[in-house]
Copies of this chain bind each other. A is one copy, B any other.
Amino acid sequence: MRLLLVEDSPRLIELVSETMHEAGWRLDAVSTLRDAEAAIASREHDLVLLDLGLPDGDGLGLLKWLRQEHAGLPVLIITARGSVDERIEGLDAGADDYLVKPFHHRELLSRCRAMLRRNPQAIQPVLEAGSLRYDPATADLTCGGEVVPLPPRERSLMEILMREVGRVVPKRRLETALSEYGQELSSNALELAVSRVRKKLQSLKTGVQIETVRGIGYLLRTNS
C-alpha cells in the first residue's frame, strides 16, 4: 500500500509520513504539481493526499486532470481552506474526502482507511502463500491467525514477494521498491532484510520460504 502526499510544508510532510509509517504504509511526498503529476502517472500509488496551496499552482487543476486520467484513484484534500463553499468546490472537483487543517493525525488515518475500504479498485485482495496471509490495507502479516510483527522494511519485502509468489523478483526491483522515493539503499540492506525475514519465517511454520536465485533475485516459494 503506497500513498502519495502532495504538500510543500516539510513539517506536515514529516507528520503525515510518520502517521502512515505507523499504519504500515509507504508514503512518497512531492512538493510541486509537476512532480505530483509525474508520480501519479507512474501509477504506483493507491491514494493521493493533496494539499491545495502549492507553490506552482492550485491543486484543483491537478485534481481535474487526475479525474480524467486516473479516474479510480482516491483523492483526499488536505487544506486550510475550510469554508463550506471551498469544501464543496473541492469535492465537486472530484475529491473523495476533504480534511481541513489543522487536523488530528488519527483522523487522517481513519479517513484514509475508509477511502480505501470503499474504493474497490484500490483494495488489493489479501495475499496468500502457504499459511501466510498479508492484508495490504491493514498491513498485517498473519500466520495461521496469529499476527507476525514485522518492521517496515521487512514488511514491504514480504508484500512484494507475496504479490509475486512463485516468481523470481529481481534484486534491483526489490531494492527500488524498498527504498523510499529517491533514496538509494545501502549496499546490503536488501540481503539483510531477506536474512532477517527468513529467520522469522523459519521459526514459524509458514510452509513458505525465500529462495535465492543467484545473480537474479529472490523468490518466495511454498513448500510443496
Which single member of B42, B216, B219 contacts A104 (CB below 8 Å)?
B42
Cα–Cα distance between A221 and B215 once the two chains are bound (Å): 27
Min CB–CB distance A56 → chain B (angstroms) = 16
CB-based contact A109/B24 at 8 Å: no
CB-based contact A151/B42 at 8 Å: no
Tell me if A118 is interfacial: C-beta within 8 Å of chain B.
no
Which single member of B21, B38, B166, B216 contacts A172 (CB below 8 Å)?
B21
The binding surface of chain A is classed by DSSP as: mixed
Cα–Cα distance between A118 and B44 once the two chains are bound (Å): 17
Taking CB atoms, residues of chain B closer than 8 Å to A216 are 24, 139, 152
Taking CB atoms, residues of chain B closer than 8 Å to A172 are 21-24
Copies of this chain, tallied across the complex:
2
Tell me if A106 is interfacial: C-beta within 8 Å of chain B.
yes
CB-based contact A38/B107 at 8 Å: yes
Cα–Cα distance between A214 and B140 once the two chains are bound (Å): 12
CB-based contact A151/B214 at 8 Å: yes
Min CB–CB distance A2 → chain B (angstroms) = 12
Tell me if A127 is interfacial: C-beta within 8 Å of chain B.
no
Taking CB atoms, residues of chain B closer than 8 Å to A103 are 41
Taking CB atoms, residues of chain B closer than 8 Å to A221 are 138
Q: Which 5 A-B pairs have the closest CB atoms?
A: A24-B170, A152-B215, A38-B104, A42-B106, A41-B107
